[in-house]
Amino acid sequence: MNRNNLYRKFENTFNREFIDEIIEKFIFTKNQLFEDRNLESVIDRYLSFESEKIRNQRRINDTQNEINRLRNGQKELLNYSVIKLRKENKLVSWLKNLDVRILYKLNNLLDIRNEFELVDNFKFNESKKERGIRM
């Protein structure tokens, strides 16, 4: 078996230590058990599989990043009014004027959790005042 052939073929993908580790695994297995295959070709194939796994994982990561980018774009489109009102410091006052049922529905649809909690607490305290309950 010629290690240099494997080094040259996979030098852009794996470091020599990794290649040596794989070679040693196969040599150990060959010495302990029956192995009649050409080790260089078997290790070549093994490293090719490993290389393909790495390429596929990169594609998966790239695809996941693209999906996240698309989700963020959708979120921005859906939250346009929220973002605009938030920048203008008008979101909380706008939400205070809405009915509680609409407020809850907006909280489920949009990214207004912090403002929702403020307004919900405000409306709860206002309703307690209206009923004459001490706070």
- Which run of H or E residues covers position 126? helix 113-131
Range of 12's domain?
3-73
The domain boundary, picked from 73, 99, 119, lies at 73
Q: Is the same domain home to 84 and 113?
A: yes
**CA 127 to CA 117: how far, in whole Å?**
15
Is this model's pTM higher than 0.75 or not?
A: no
32: tokens are 């302990």
At 27-86, the pLDDT tens digits run: 999 999 988 999 999 999 999 999 999 999 999 999 999 999 999 999 999 999 999 999
Q: Is the same domain home to 116 and 91?
A: yes
Q: Is the same domain home to 42 and 86?
A: no
The domain boundary, picked from 42, 73, 104, lies at 73
Q: Is the same domain home to 7 and 67?
A: yes
Q: Report the domain count for the chain.
A: 2
Listed residue (75, 73, 107) closest to 91, CA to CA: 107
Q: Is the same domain home to 41 and 96?
A: no
